[in-house]
Amino acid sequence: MAQNILKIALAQLNPIVGDVAGNEQKAREARAEAARMGADIVMFAEQFLAGYPAEDLVLKPAFQDTCRAALERLARETADGGPGMLVGLPWREEGLLYNAYALLDGGTVSVRFKVDLPNYGVFDEKRNFEAGPLPGPVNFRGIRLGLPICEDIWSGDVVECLAETGAEMLLVPNGSPYWRGKTEERFNIAAARVTESGLPLVYLNQVGGQDELVFDGASFVLNSDCSLACQLPANEETIALTTWEKGEEGWVCREAPIVTVEEGEEADYAACVLGLRDYVEKNRFPGVVLGLSGGIDSAICAAMAVDALGAERVHCVMLPYRYTSGESLKDAEACAKALGVRYDILPIAEPVEGFEAALQPLFAGRERDITEENLQSRARGTILMAISNKFGSMVLTTGNKSEMSVGYATIYGDMNGGFNPIKDLYKMEVYRISALRNRWKPKGALGPDGIVIPENILTKAPTAELRENQKDQDSLPPYEDLDEILRGLVEEELRVSEIVAKGYDLEVVKKVERLLYIAEYKRRQAAPGVKVTRRNFGRDRRYPIVNRYRDQGLAAHQKDEALERAIGKPRAGSMDV
């Protein structure tokens, strides 16, 4: 290696949490590929050997030992004079556990620890790791590499310390999950650190799904003038070579691939497909089964499943009852045909009426109500679970975020399932993303081109078809309004009064807030699903099930006269209430 030339291979790969042996072998194979490319060093993502996030698994001493042993084997292999390696893992030292990044070269190991541990949203790193000290650079063949780990670049202290102690470039390993708008946010953070330090920066992110999270890759390189020198694809594994040259102004990335990454709803759809694919593959399910109702939600989930797994691994089942319209039967069949999946029709009249007959002595004298409606949904859920048990396919559940928010779903019925690809998409987003899929599909999708969701599904009024002439809007505000109210309550944590100020009726907003709170117990029992928004249910938003708080819609400056009467007006010199 000439002293003024450095070739860095970026291994944007998809590790599996807990599969240390598999991740080790993946790293070994990537190093071999990097050697064939002529690389001097190959870089992997944060916590690569363990898989990220391994959550409380990293606290298990046996797991820590397994990761350490894998790293030591890889380190010994670097004594062959080939490429060095940068690998992440949990690292115990003097009784404390750190999120570590290790340089392996010439058979030796140099380690740096993560300083800023994220403890918000989906992250709980302060639960699992100790914060490391401010680091200096590591020496790789005469070049001083700064190794801030993920969150370490989201504020300036770590990079400032590295720059002051002689780092020549910043190589940043990440486990950065996708949410809408994340790409721009990453660029802004990286550009801020480059501007402050004057150092070029490599942002290497992992790719793949892990439970609710999707890591989209989309790794990149910024030169010291903040120009984009490398952009790797989103949502796919790749090993890319970047060639660097040192001049009077420092290191510059001269050669590297630059591709276009999906944005907006295309990125959302691609994330849902990747999250579903990896949940099925990493849990070793042979395929999925879902109820295809003729509605928009099940149709887009079927399309995502085919794009993720291929038509031969997707089984769609229509489960009609007396309220199922001929239109729904026709639409479901057309959707299944367009996708090329197995499609069966299993009427549910006998099991539903069997349940009603069994309950008749107990229910005698009471009017029919939502109870009988839910029996239909629960019969469907039971049948789908039976198919899953018999054939091994995972049940895909298909409720959107609007329904999950307000509890417009039957627990132990249509909520049955192992995974939900649209759990974090509001109803109107489902419509838009469905129209998108009819004219586009992501790279690597296994489904057919063209229209896969019949036009009638996109245009007809949504209905659960649990009673005669039922429409969703009989029970809920129009979805255009509901979704905006929910964004205010869930994503933005707005006061009811602030949402009302946007033009929504006070009583409607209070009703939606009440439904949101009382549905918490359902969400706690719901299947996991892909995180798409900044604030999903479960990892980001953790509300109590027992919760009597209700926002009455008073503006911050208004006095609550009822409260004032109850406690009396404050006396002079006393605390103002």
Mean pLDDT by 10 residues, the chain (577 residues): 84 97 97 97 97 94 96 97 97 95 97 90 87 95 96 93 96 94 93 96 97 95 96 96 94 96 94 97 97 95 98 97 91 96 96 94 91 92 96 95 91 92 95 96 95 94 71 79 94 92 93 92 92 84 81 66 49 36
- Among this protein's residues, is 253 annotated catalytic? no
Q: 296 labelled as ligand-binding?
A: yes
**Active-site residue among 46, 212, 236, 513?**
46
Q: 298 labelled as ligand-binding?
A: yes
- Closest Cα partner for 31 from 98, 76, 85, 110? 85
pLDDT score, position 555: 66
Q: 110 labelled as ligand-binding?
A: no
Q: First-to-last CA distance in the chain?
A: 71
pLDDT score, position 576: 33
Q: 293 φ, ψ to 5°?
A: -90, -15
Q: 295 labelled as ligand-binding?
A: yes
Strands (E) across 141-295 are located at 143-146, 169-174, 201-205, 207-210, 213-216, 220-222, 228-231, 238-247, 250-255, 288-291
pLDDT score, position 571: 40
Two tokens, residue 145 = 């590499």
- Among this protein's residues, is 150 annotated catalytic? yes
**Active-site residue among 26, 67, 125, 150?**
150
pLDDT score, position 469: 67
Q: 369 labelled as ligand-binding?
A: no
Number of Cβ within a 10 Å radius of residue 438:
17
Amino acid type, 66? T
The secondary structure of residue 418, as a DSSP letter, is: S
pLDDT score, position 474: 67
pLDDT score, position 118: 87
pLDDT score, position 297: 95
Say how far residue 392 (Cα) sits from the centre of its chain.
25
pLDDT score, position 418: 95
**Active-site residue among 114, 282, 441, 531?**
114
pLDDT score, position 537: 85
Q: 397 labelled as ligand-binding?
A: no
- Among this protein's residues, is 93 annotated catalytic? no
pLDDT score, position 504: 93
Strand partners, 172: 203
Would you say 152 and 158 are in contact if contact means Cβ atoms under 8 Å apart? yes
Q: State the Cα–Cα distance between residues 89 and 112, nearest whole angstrom.
A: 11
What is the residue-wise DSSP string for 311-351? GGGEEEEE---TT--HHHHHHHHHHHHHHT-EEEE---HHH
Measured CA distances, 287 to 141, 251, 278, 557 (Å): 48, 48, 12, 55
Q: 574 labelled as ligand-binding?
A: no
What is the residue-wise DSSP string for 280-317? HHHTT-S-EEEE--SSHHHHHHHHHHHHHH-GGGEEEE
For 82, the 3-state DSSP assignment is coil
Q: State the Cα–Cα distance between residues 37 and 47, nearest whole angstrom.
A: 24
Q: 511 labelled as ligand-binding?
A: no
Cα-based angle 173, 177, 178 (whole degrees, multiple of 5): 125
